[in-house]
Amino acid sequence: MSSAIHYLQALANLAAHDRPPLRPADLSRSALLAQYHPDNAGNASTLLQIGPSRGQPCHPRLAALLQSNALIDGFDLAGAEQRSTDVLVIGGGGAGAAAALTAARSGAEVMLASKLRLGDSNTVMAEGGIQAALAASDSPQQHFDDAMRGGHDAANPQLLAQMASDAPGVIRWLIELGMHFDLDEPLEDGGKLRYKQAGGCSQPRILCYRDYTGLEMMRVLRETVELDPAITLLNRCPVVELLSHEDGSCAGAVLYDLEYQRFIVVSARQTILATGGCGRLHLQGFPSSNHYGATADGLVLAYRIGTGLRDMDAFQYHPTGVAWPQRLRGGLISEAARSGGALLVNGLGERFVEELAPRDVVTAAILRECAAGRGIERDGQLGVFLDTRPLGANLASRLPALQHLADKCGIDPCSEPMLIYPTLHYQNGGVIIDGNGQTSVPGLLCAGEITGGIHGRNRLMGNALLDILAFGRRAGRQAARLAQAARHKSTLPPQRGGIEHVYRWQRQLALAGLDSSLQAPLLYPGQARLALHRPTSPHA
């Protein structure tokens, strides 16, 4: 560890000021990012060697998974159970639930397969809230402008415009399903939703439910999915490979049923991947705020079957992860804390960045303090202070999740600062889609964090929850439409595909001289690997 200021000394330095002074900036934002953002470290990028996005930059850890061999071969499918459906949705977070509900609502027969239980996802963990431009002084245009600027002008303008325009309709849909939102002036004429300020936004635009917006959203979505008779739910059935037709289109997927330890082949007219991001890969050695299942599975499978990817070298490291105590390391402290007035303070007792600057800038600034020896050390953990005292006495009722976290840390946030360090939070890039979630592979759609292009190279707070629902619904609607068109042509069940694309991929691996012993998707992080059961004999 580079040198740092001891916790007790740092506390004394903090106590020296009523409100710590802000040190004037001596580096431009772009210089700060270039020197200190983890994406710009020397070892953070390599070029993809095979596949549709060959030649594009990608994080090396992810590149290794993207350029790996399949988990199964044709032999595994021989005796597998066969099922079929109009629309197969893979992933049980917000994007998957929204897609499944919309597809079912549009008349399709739907199957939803999830690796963990439906709902165990990043979505349920979201705290801060969801953006929607509703204020009289605000507009979808300003929402668009802020997000475009925040993403360093790299977003696909069409996708971003669709997302910002969909926002009011998405909020209405959520309320129609029974989700609550915080109100300001609840008694006045139907009430007005409470707006919170997010970093990088021209005005307050975040809608929330306390600071457990994702929990409130996901419990409503999960219940609706579980009770919908048109949706067949397969919990603990991770997808291990996609299926393809001879013409290269997607034909469904191969699932592994953990309960019965066997493969299930699902032939689907349309398949929607909504498997989320890759936070659990701990890129650049960072801790992560993500749930256990965020291991880039869908990304790997989509690439193997032929979709293009973008911005696979751009990740979001959230500025305020827990740094102490160690067992909670990486856990998220929502931006709602800074939005409500919490300050970032280094070991010298100085503020060193505007707290509501864009996330990548704040993260780079924190890493700079730590690199320069102005960080704080407590029991071997390094970070800077998040001074939550300005949040005031009603913290526990306004931000119960923050209070709950502080309790677990053994800290009284009204009198003590928390130690924080950036944590790997979000995958900015992903699969390239069109306005309806369709990829370049016919029959395959994607929605949610697995996709790229909506946010450019840096996402603003509250736009992920919006994106997964806006595009989850779009993908669901489109998949149902296409499945129904196919059903009109032929009432026979969808044709069973094979894994020809895997064999093609294996040839590419060999030609490029890549190691084909590495297999992916990873499915589960951690030190122990899951061995897929392979029935070798009838007696096994």
Partner 1 sequence: MSETIHISIDGKVVDAEPGNSILHTRLQGEEALTANIGCMGQGVCGSCRCLVRKAGERSAETRLACETVVEDGMQVSFIDYYLPEHLHRYRPHDLRDGWQALPQLQQTFPEISQCRHCSGCDRACPRHIPVQQGIALANSGQLQAAAALFDPCIMCNLCTLACPENIRPNHVGLYLRRAQAIQNLRPGDLLRRLEQQARGEMAINTQTDNTRSEV
Binding site for ligand FAD (CB under 6 A): 90-96, 113-116, 120-123, 125-130, 213-214, 238-239, 274-276, 289-290, 293-294, 297, 332, 426, 448-449, 461-465, 468, 521, 523
User: CA 215 → CA 175, 181, 529, distances in Å?
Assistant: 15, 12, 29
Burial label, 510 (beta-carbon count in 10 A; 0-12, 13-18, 19+)? exposed
Residue 276 or 456 having the CB closest to ligand FAD: 276
Residues 467-526 that bind partner 1 (CB under 8 A): 524, 526
Query: Which of the listed partners (partner 1, ligand FAD, none) does 95 bind, with a CB threshold of 5 to 8 Å by partner kind?
Result: ligand FAD
Instruction: Tell which phi-psi region holds residue 373, choosing left (phi > 0), alpha (psi between -120 and 50) or beta.
Output: left
Least Cβ distance, residue 305 to partner 1 (angstroms)? 24
Contact positions with partner 1 (CB under 8 A) in 193-232: 193, 212, 214-215, 219-220, 222-224, 226-229
Of these partners, partner 1, ligand FAD, none, which one is at the site of residue 90 (CB under 5 to 8 Å by kind)?
ligand FAD
**Binding residues for partner 1 restricted to 98-117, rule: CB under 8 A:** 116-117
For residue 34, count other CB atoms closer than 10 A to its CB. Answer: 13
DSSP string computed for 180-206? ---EESTTSTT-EE--B--TT-SS--E
How near is the Cβ of 177 to partner 1 at its closest, in Å? 5
Residue 357 binding partner per list ligand FAD, partner 1, none, with a CB distance cut-off of 5 to 8 Å that depends on partner kind: partner 1
DSSP label of 94: H
- CB 229 to partner 1: min, Å: 8
Within positions 167 to 186, which residues make up the interface with partner 1, using CB under 8 A?
168-169, 171-172, 175-181, 183
> What CA–CA distance (Å, rounded) separates 107 from 365?
50
Cα–Cα distances in angstroms (integers) from residue 194 to residues 35, 133, 178, 185, in the given order: 37, 12, 18, 8
Q: Is 187 exposed, middle or buried (0-12, 13-18, 19+ CB in 10 A)?
A: exposed
Toward partner 1, which CB reaches closer, 26 or 176? 176
Nearest-approach distance from CB 237 to ligand FAD, in angstroms: 7
Q: Which residues are catalytic?
A: 318, 338
Residue 51's binding partner among partner 1, ligand FAD, none (Cβ under 5 to 8 angstroms by kind) is none
Q: 């002084």: which residue's tokens? A: 137
Q: How far is the CB of 414 from partner 1 (least distance, A)?
A: 20
Phi and psi torsions of 66, nearest 5°: -65, -35
Nearer residue to ligand FAD within complex by CB, 10 or 88: 88
232 DSSP β-pair partners: 111
86 binds, among ligand FAD, partner 1, none (CB under 5 to 8 A by kind): none
Residues that bind partner 1 (rule: CB under 8 A) add up to a total of 86
Complex with partner 1: residue 138 or 387, whichever CB lies closer? 138
The size of the chain, in residues, is 540
**421: its two tokens:** 């360090």
Nearer to partner 1, 153 or 412 (CB): 153
Q: Which of residues 225-284 bind partner 1 (CB under 8 A)?
A: 226-229, 233, 235-236, 258
Rounded to 5°, the CA angle 375-34-202 comes to 85
Distance, CA of 415 to CA of 432 (rounded, Å): 47
- Choice between 5 and 255, CB closer to ligand FAD: 255
